[in-house]
């Protein structure tokens, strides 16, 4: 249960944020519709209390009220449906997480498999492998359980920024205005600045000045030095060599914008900068890592993940697993060595389990071959070893 609460925060928080957003939208819609209805009603009341109480006029105004009420009903229904749908997404995910504790082992195994797929999808999305992630999610039917949508929207914005188009980014900023303000985000300002710079680059300086008048005047005081630098740019030609202004004109700024957008997107949804996948893999490698994995091929166990070549080099900077009690396994059979399978030492110092040695001896007239040194001994030469 503890592992669910450790890594599943993003799984639930992101759809909750969507729910919150939908709620706010719904509230705005309702308030707007209430305004419409109230104004229509007030108009009618005004007519009622003046002297002209012409039936036809009142009748048509009443028709207007009915219309506004219908539109209110429709919009309210749509809005609450959306809210409920996002609430249901949260509920579905919570129910899925509950399976982790199920009493049936096959359900738990399947759940763990799904967990690995979910972690992989998130890692792939962060790494930018969008089509692999989408394919994986759809082949395992887990789209509802992953935050695919968030990253796909982000991808559109990133792609548009890559094409030097700022419209999608600006509409994204507008959608998330309140949250970005809470984060003190400078993204929108930077985008506007970049637009200004692009206007300068294409020599449309008058337009640039108008653009600056429109967008730079409402900015916070902290941005003043950047604004001043931008305005100074007007004085320089597009191929200037003065370093400070050359920097402003370089294309690298677009990449920086994309980076900033990515980071802000993650912060917005309270996603950490590292993917859960890499954190989990690191912890797992560390918990499985033993000195044996690094002692050359003789120590390797093909089942041990850390003995696999790629994972082996990935795990080298990580700490080893801590063990305060001995845990021994027989090198031949892989079974534990304990009082049912006592460890026996051959004269060359290698230790194996009693069961495996006895089986080998019974098939070979009492002789045993040490698998690691290829020396032969008789089973009677094996001595007991006592490990506390």
Least Cα distance to 172 among 186, 195, 156, 183 occurs for: 156
Structure-token match 């028709």, residue found: 63
> By C-beta, is 36 or 168 nearer to other proteins?
36
Q: State the nearest-atom distance from the C-beta of 180 to other proteins, in Å.
A: 19
Choice between 217 and 310, CB closer to other proteins: 310
Cβ distance to other proteins smaller for residue 153 or 280:
280
Query: In sequence order, what are the beta bridge partners of 369?
Result: 376
Closer residue to other proteins in complex, CB, 114/260: 114
Cβ-in-10-Å burial (0-12, 13-18, 19+) of 219 comes to middle
Instruction: Kindly state the smallest distance separating residue 257's Cβ from other proteins, in Å.
Output: 22
Question: Cα(366)–Cα(187) distance, rounded to whole angstroms?
Answer: 78
How does DSSP classify residue 349? S
Q: Per this entry, what is the length of the chain?
A: 388
Q: Which is nearer to other proteins, 24 or 210 (CB)?
A: 24
Q: Tell me whether residue 41 or residue 170 sits nearer to other proteins (CB atom).
A: 41
Measured from the CB of residue 37, what is the shortest distance to other proteins in angstroms? Answer: 5
Q: How far apart are CA 245 and CA 255, in angstroms?
A: 17
8 Å CB contact between 100 and 111? yes
CA of residue 315 relative to chain centroid, distance: 23
CA separation for the pair 96, 331 (Å, rounded): 40
The contacts of residue 15 (CB under 8 Å, 6+ apart) are 86, 89, 90, 93
CB of 262 to other proteins, least distance (A): 15
In the complex, the smallest distance separating the C-beta of residue 157 from other proteins, rounded to whole angstroms, is: 19
Residue closer to other proteins by CB (options 154, 200) is 154
Closest distance to other proteins from the beta carbon of 26 (Å): 7
By C-beta, is 179 or 372 nearer to other proteins? Answer: 372
Q: How far is the CB of 75 from other proteins (least distance, A)?
A: 11
Question: Tokens standing for 378?
Answer: 């008789």
Measure the CA–CA gap between 180 and 265, rounded to whole angstroms: 9
**Of 8, 10, 2, residue with least CA distance to 101:** 2
**Least separation in angstroms between CB 288 and other proteins:** 5
Cα–chain-centroid distance for residue 68? 43
Least CB distance to other proteins at residue 150 (A) = 16
Nearer to other proteins, 21 or 223 (CB): 21
Long-range contacts: 330-333, Cβ < 8 Å, 24+? 330/355, 330/356, 331/371, 331/372, 332/356, 332/357, 332/360, 332/371
Pick 236 or 350: Cβ nearer other proteins? 350
Min. distance of Cβ 3 from other proteins in angstroms?
4
Q: Which long-range contacts (CB under 8 A, 24 or more apart) does 316-321 make?
A: 318/282, 318/285, 318/286, 318/289, 319/286, 319/289, 320/286, 320/289, 320/290, 320/291, 321/286, 321/287, 321/288, 321/289, 321/290
């Amino acid at each position: 249960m503890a592992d669910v609460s450790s890594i599943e925060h993003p799984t639930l928080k992101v759809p909750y944020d969507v729910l919150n957003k939908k709620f706010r939208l719904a509230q705005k819609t309702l308030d707007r519709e209430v305004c419409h209805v109230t104004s229509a009603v007030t108009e009618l009341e005004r007519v009622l209390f003046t002297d002209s109480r012409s039936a036809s006029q009142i009748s048509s105004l009443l028709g207007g009220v009915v219309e506004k009420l219908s539109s209110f009903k429709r919009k309210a229904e749509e809005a609450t449906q959306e809210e409920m749908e996002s609430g249901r997404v949260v509920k579905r995910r919570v129910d899925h997480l509950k399976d982790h504790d199920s009493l049936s082992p096959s359900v738990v195994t399947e759940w763990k498999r799904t967990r690995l797929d979910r972690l992989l999808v998130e890692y792939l999305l962060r790494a930018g492998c969008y089509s692999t992630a989408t394919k994986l999610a759809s082949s395992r039917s887990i789209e509802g359980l992953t935050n695919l949508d968030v990253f796909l929207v982000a991808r559109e914005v990133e792609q548009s920024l890559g094409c030097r188009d700022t419209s999608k980014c600006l509409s994204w900023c507008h959608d998330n205005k309140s949250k970005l303000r809470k984060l003190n985000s400078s993204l929108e300002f930077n985008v506007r600045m970049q637009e200004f710079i692009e206007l300068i680059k294409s020599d449309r300086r008058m337009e640039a000045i108008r653009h600056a008048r429109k967008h730079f005047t409402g900015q916070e005081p902290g941005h003043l030095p950047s604004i001043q630098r931008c305005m100074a740019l007007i004085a320089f030609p597009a191929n200037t060599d003065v370093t400070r202004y050359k920097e402003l004109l370089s294309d690298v700024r677009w990449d920086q914008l994309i980076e900033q957008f990515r980071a802000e997107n993650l912060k917005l949804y309270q996603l950490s900068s590292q993917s859960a996948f890499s954190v989990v893999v690191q912890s797992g490698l560390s918990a499985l890592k033993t000195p044996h994995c690094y002692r050359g091929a003789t120590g390797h166990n093909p089942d041990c993940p850390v003995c696999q070549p790629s994972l082996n080099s990935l795990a080298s900077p990580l700490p080893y697993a801590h063990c305060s009690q001995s845990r021994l396994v027989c090198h031949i059979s892989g079974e534990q060595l304990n009082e049912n399978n006592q460890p026996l030492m051959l004269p060359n110092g290698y230790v194996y389990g009693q069961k495996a040695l006895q089986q080998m001896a019974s098939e070979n007239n009492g002789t045993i071959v040490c698998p690691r040194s290829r020396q032969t001994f008789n089973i009677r030469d094996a001595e007991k070893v006592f490990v506390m």
